[in-house]
Structure 1
Amino acid sequence: MVADLLHPWFTPQWERLLTQHRSNRLPHALLLSGAQGVGKHDFAQALANLLLCHQPTASGPCGHCHSCDLRIAGHHPDLVSITPEAIGKPIKVDQVRVLIDHLHSTAQQGGYRVVIMEPAEALNISSANALLKILEEPGDNTLLLLVCHQPGQLMPTIRSRCQRIDFVTPTPEQAQAWLSENLGLDTEKAQQLLRLCHGAPLKARRLYESDLLEQRKKLMTGLADLLRDRVAVTDLALQFGKFDLLQCLDWLNSLLSDIIRMQLANLPEPVVNPDMKSMLQAVAKRADSAKIFALADRIQEERVSLMLRHNPNRQLLLERLLLLWSDLARKT
């Protein structure tokens, strides 16, 4: 149902699009832009559910017409979802060509045809150019929903042909209340998850429900052992190479952010990673600021490279970063 997908921080965007829809001014392409984990996909799905329903009510789709039955069963012929074939891979031109062929036919249920593409920034040059053909001539009652976490990575010609809807991260109070209610967590645990996820509540939920927290625990233990010379860089890089690499870089960057805050703002303890208080206090006391910023810059370079879908040698990448990390606490 729409109510399950429409989070309370989406009300302004939802009302805006409902007004456009009721006055037959809904565009043929929407760019849903915002940080990952705030719920843009849920919003796209809620809008698709409403548009595909043959007997919508004031609160959303009816849930019992033939179109709703098909959608609920997961086989609606007029709802197309396009994602990369694997995490970190691009959306291929062949996927877009299949979509073009599909949209050349009429809607099988006689209403809207809706396409949800996520993440839209995964389009490569060939697939983006192919998508332009759809954006220029989408056909009647067709809506393309491009869910995008990094709009700057989209071709300007793609962005210019979409109406952009921006989604901000909810307030800490909204995010904490939602997370506590959905996962049955106390306030402190919910706040800690949100700190690790930059305030994005759905990302925090995925973190809690996956094995990523266990990966983080192993990462933090390994980094602490490395500072004490209890483990070799090569062995640790081999272990971390099995983890979500982009997530590891984000966690390492969050540690550096805490250290910088403790040094520059003279904070007594870390903000994002309070469970690593002892380690971060020790590094903040001993580390040279120039080394910290150099490592932060290197992490950002590697993050950009990964998001651009380059294929680095994971072992060498991690070894370089871990050597820089181990060097932080060594006095010169």
Structure 2
Amino acid sequence: MEIGDRYHSLDAAIYPWFEDQWHRVVRLHNDKHLPHALLLSGMPGIGKARLAEAIAGYVMCHRPQSLKACGQCRSCILLNSSGHPDLYFLRPEETGKPIKVDQVRQLTEFMHNTAQQGGYRIVVLEPAEFMNISAANALLKTLEEPGRDTLLILITHQLGQVLPTVRSRCQRLDCHPPSETVAVEWLSQQLSVDAQEALQLLNVVHGAPLTGLSFKKQGHQALRADFLTALRDILRQRKTPVEVAGEFLKADLDLLLGWLQGLLADVVRILLLDSDELIRNMDMQKMLKGIAKNSTKVKIFTLADLVQVERLGLQRRQNPNKQLLLERILIDWSALVRS
């Protein structure tokens, strides 16, 4: 492992929707009841990694104040400059790859060394569901015998994918997405947009503010617009599923399937509520109402289940043939409004 993979400077922030979780951890630490392992659980894109970094900064600070690190002690200076030698980040070596057992063994060695700056040694492991079975089992020994003044902070986006024996040895810190009001206000300020634009963006990203921020900055609006237009063209028989699959072969497949999943969820809302007032993709309202009117519940739910299964497969690091997978889904999409 390269030194840059172990020692990070912090970019920590306490988002307003995590104040309860933050106060809980601070109280545990101040009362000397901080557990040796925390498991931060919640949907992606809401800031769990930033919360973990803020916790690490507070716990490692030599002169913590009531609700924040002092920012001036040796530990704080290290954390915010060159990186702290007693803080260890463990992530997959490559995007989409699992966390391997050898990585966990290196972590175990770190956990049992003496802290170079005194105080705590802290590990931030993300995402916990990416540990393969061997790695998770290797971590169990560290969780059972963590050593003195150590804290493991595990972050998971899919709690059900974390080994039960790992979950049971951590104190859970459930991280919920912010309310619509809080999220809209925050995103409006970050992007300097009005509340309506922020709300529409949040609807697209299922209420995850940081995903919305990234979505806007990375220019995903154009890709989404092109993909939704292509879906509409398929229904109108202007393009074939094979043609559209070829057009989007280089795009992030999970991103595309997430948008498609959101559209199908909106169709279900229309069917179940006999209303389009609660749909999220308001810019596709006409198409969604047309599908709800001209398709069947069996077709819609069958396709929704297929998209969910394929997304789970991608997230579990399966490596399918993207062209064939997308073609199969788009063929079923084309059949939604046909007899």
Partner of 2:164 in structure 1?
A: 156
Residues 1:248 and 2:256 are matched in the alignment: yes
Partner of 1:81 in structure 2?
A: 89
1:59-70 equivalences under 5 Å are 59-70=67-78
- Return the letter of the residue paired with 2:94: A
Cα distance between partner residues in 1 of 2:160 and 2:292: 34
Report deviation, 1:268: 4.3
Partner of 2:5 in structure 1?
A: none
Report deviation, 1:285: 2.3
Residues 1:105 and 2:113 are matched in the alignment: yes
TM-score computed with the length of structure 1 as normaliser: 0.94
Residues 1:305 and 2:313 are matched in the alignment: yes
For the residue of structure 1 that corresponds to 2:247, the secondary structure is helix
Partner of 1:168 in structure 2?
A: 176
- Return the letter of the residue paired with 2:16: P
Residues 1:224 and 2:232 are matched in the alignment: yes
Report deviation, 1:304: 1.9
Partner of 1:281 in structure 2?
A: 289
Report deviation, 1:238: 2.2
CA gap of 1:16–1:3, structure 2 versus 1, over 3 A, is farther
Between 278-287 and 93-102, the greater mean CA deviation after superposition: 278-287
CA gap of 1:137–1:225, structure 2 versus 1, over 3 A, is same
Partner of 1:50 in structure 2?
A: 58
Residues 1:137 and 2:145 are matched in the alignment: yes
Moved over 4 A (4+): 1-4
1:147-226 equivalences under 5 Å are 147-226=155-234
TM-score computed with the length of structure 2 as normaliser: 0.92
Aligned length: 331
Report % sequence identity.
49
Partner of 2:302 in structure 1?
A: 294
CA contact (8 A) 1:2 1:60 kept: no
Superposed CA deviations along residues 202-250 of structure 1, whole A, max 9, x for unmatched, are 2221212223222211211211121222223223112323222112111
Cα distance between partner residues in 2 of 1:237 and 1:94: 38
CA contact (8 A) 2:11 2:53 kept: no
Superposed CA deviations along residues 244-285 of structure 1, whole A, max 9, x for unmatched, are 211211110111111222233222467111111222222222
CA contact (8 A) 1:270 1:280 kept: no
- Return the letter of the residue paired with 2:225: K
Cα distance between partner residues in 1 of 2:278 and 2:240: 26
Partner of 1:18 in structure 2?
A: 26
Cα distance between partner residues in 2 of 1:233 and 1:45: 44
Cα distance between partner residues in 1 of 2:229 and 2:295: 19
Q: Which runs of no fewer than 5 residues in structure 2 stay unpaired?
A: 1-8
In angstroms, what is the RMSD of aligned CA positions? 1.9
Residues 1:263 and 2:271 are matched in the alignment: yes
CA contact (8 A) 1:5 1:43 kept: yes
CA gap of 1:34–1:160, structure 2 versus 1, over 3 A, is same
Cα distance between partner residues in 1 of 2:252 and 2:153: 27
Superposed CA deviations along residues 165-185 of structure 1, whole A, max 9, x for unmatched, are 111121111111111122212
- Return the letter of the residue paired with 2:221: L
For the residue of structure 2 that corresponds to 1:129, the secondary structure is helix
Superposed CA deviations along residues 29-82 of structure 1, whole A, max 9, x for unmatched, are 001111112221111111111112222222412222222221112421111111
Between 193-202 and 143-152, the greater mean CA deviation after superposition: 193-202
Cα distance between partner residues in 2 of 1:222 and 1:3: 39
Residues 1:95 and 2:99 are matched in the alignment: no
Cα distance between partner residues in 1 of 2:27 and 2:34: 9
- Return the letter of the residue paired with 1:55: R
For the residue of structure 2 that corresponds to 1:328, the secondary structure is coil
CA contact (8 A) 1:269 1:277 kept: no
For the residue of structure 2 that corresponds to 1:105, the secondary structure is coil
CA contact (8 A) 2:61 2:73 kept: yes
Partner of 1:32 in structure 2?
A: 40
For the residue of structure 1 that corresponds to 2:80, the secondary structure is helix
- Return the letter of the residue paired with 2:257: L
